[in-house]
């Protein structure tokens, strides 16, 4: 009996440590379909979830958010192992996958629901995000005013299931949208002088 109880306690301790090792980060970079792939490629990223945050409506639907009336932003929530990938690396990937100069949205998508933003979940993330923005501004890589905002995280609502891993479920439609939106062409123009961190 004592061995059995000891085994249970060891299992609980291990589970607790595993859970503690998982952290989350939230980024708004326009269409959430396009923000999942670069994070899914990173070693240490456990999962990505498309969703909505920052609005005033409870449990918003895609229709609510896409109308622009709910106040939410399309975001991707990244679950990651901080022992394998750092928050700074996640920030590096974020910047080179958005257009920080666009104050109207991202690429072909205009509206407040497509604005670029970093949603910090704690003080460490806030400081890291602010420092990464400062470094980017001082580097003078981008010629123009940075429109990306840094905001405290609010309640996250996962998007409908058909949006999750859309690029895997509907690869042809995804690539057609991404190409038609001019995302890769604009990213190449913005970041061609920068060594990508992945």
Domain of 83, CATH number, reads 3.30.1060.10
- pLDDT, tens digit, 9 for 90 and up, residues 5-42: 343 333 333 444 444 589 999 999 999 999 999 999 99
Tokens of 116: 């670029």
What is the pLDDT at residue 100?
Answer: 98
> Under a CB-based contact definition with an 8 Å cutoff, are residues 160 and 61 in contact?
yes
The answer to the question of residue 12 being in a domain is no
Residue 31 annotated to the active site:
yes
The answer to the question of residue 197 being in a domain is no
What is the pLDDT at residue 193?
Answer: 77
The answer to the question of residue 118 being in a domain is yes
The answer to the question of residue 33 being in a domain is yes
Total domains, the chain: 1
Best CA proximity match to 53, nearest among 78, 39, 71: 71
What is the pLDDT at residue 8?
Answer: 36
The answer to the question of residue 54 being in a domain is yes
- What's the pTM value of the predicted model, to 2 decimals? 0.88
Tell how strand 23-29 and strand 116-120 pair up.
antiparallel
Gap between the Cα atoms of 111 and 114, Å rounded: 6
- DSSP codes joined into one string, the chain: -HHHHHHHHHHHHHHHHHHHT-EEEEEEESSHHHHHHHHHTSTTEEEEEEEEES-SSSS--HHHHHTT-S--EEEEEEEE-TTTS-HHHHHHHHHTTS-TT-SSEETTEESGGG-EEEEESSHHHHHHHHHHHHHHHHHT-S-S----EEEE----EEPPGGGTTHHHHSHHHHHHHHHHTTHHHHHHHHHTTS----
The answer to the question of residue 69 being in a domain is yes
The answer to the question of residue 97 being in a domain is yes
Tell how strand 149-152 and strand 157-158 pair up.
unpaired
Q: Which domain holds residue 30?
A: 21-191
Of the candidates 31, 34, 108, 181, the residue annotated as catalytic is 31
The answer to the question of residue 10 being in a domain is no
The ranges of the chain with pLDDT < 70 are 1-20, 195-198
Give 109's strand partners. 106
């Amino acid at each position: 009996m004592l061995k059995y109880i000891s085994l249970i306690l060891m299992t609980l301790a291990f589970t607790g440590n595993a859970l503690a090792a998982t952290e989350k980060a939230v980024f708004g970079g326009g269409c959430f379909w396009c923000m999942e792939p670069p994070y899914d490629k990173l070693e240490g990223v456990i999962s990505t979830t498309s969703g909505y945050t920052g609005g005033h409506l409870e449990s918003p639907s895609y229709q609510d958010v896409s109308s622009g009336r709910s106040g939410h932003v399309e975001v991707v929530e990244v679950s990651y192992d901080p022992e394998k990938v750092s928050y700074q690396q996640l920030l590096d990937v974020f910047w080179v996958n958005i257009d920080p100069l666009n104050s109207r949205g991202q690429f072909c998508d205009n509206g407040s629901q497509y604005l670029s933003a970093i949603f910090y979940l704690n003080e460490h993330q806030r400081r890291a995000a602010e420092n990464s923005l400062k470094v980017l501004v001082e580097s003078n890589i981008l010629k123009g005013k940075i429109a990306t905002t840094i905001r405290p995280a609010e309640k996250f609502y996962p998007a409908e299931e058909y949006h999750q891993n859309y690029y895997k479920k509907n690869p042809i439609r995804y690539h057609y949208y991404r190409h038609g939106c001019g995302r890769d062409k604009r990213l190449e123009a913005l970041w061609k002088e920068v060594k990508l961190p992945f």
